Amino acid sequence: MTDRLYNAIGLCQRAGKAKSGAFAAESAIKAGKAKLVLLEETASEATKTHYEQLCAAHGVPLVLTETVGRAIGKDSRIVMAVTDPNFKDMIERAMRNTDEKRG
């Protein structure tokens, strides 16, 4: 994960534009407030399947990432719903830059 992506995720949380943790993220998705869902790659297959199906049913993009919890200062969190479209765009741009540097 690049510093830019790590910082974008942390900034989103500090700005109050994210819901982290299973209950909060799932509630945001079901309420139609989630614009993007970040899920740690280390999540169990059952958890990945659950969020893939939930996000698909509600039309929310799901992205697997290296870390969510560490980026927001809460190590035990593996899922985060971004609730602001501007932060969604910022995180997606940072992810594209990360992919371009890998490629």
Domain made up of 3-102: CATH architecture: 2-Layer Sandwich (3.30)
Percent of the chain residues topping a pLDDT of 90 = 72
List, for residues 6-31, the tens digit of each pLDDT value. Answer: 899 999 999 999 999 999 999 999 99
Q: How far apart are CA 49 and CA 52, in angstroms?
A: 5
**Model-level pTM?**
0.89
Helix-helix angle 45-58:22-30, to 10 degrees: 20
Report pLDDT for 100.
Answer: 53
Instruction: Report the SS3 class of residue 79.
Output: strand
Average pLDDT over every residue of 48-74: 91
pLDDT at 69 (0 to 100): 79
Contact 78, 67 (CB under 8 A): no
Sheet with strand 62-65: strands edge to edge: 18-20, 79-82, 36-40, 62-65
Q: Are 74 and 10 in contact (CB under 8 A)?
A: no
How confident is the model at residue 17, as a pLDDT? Answer: 97
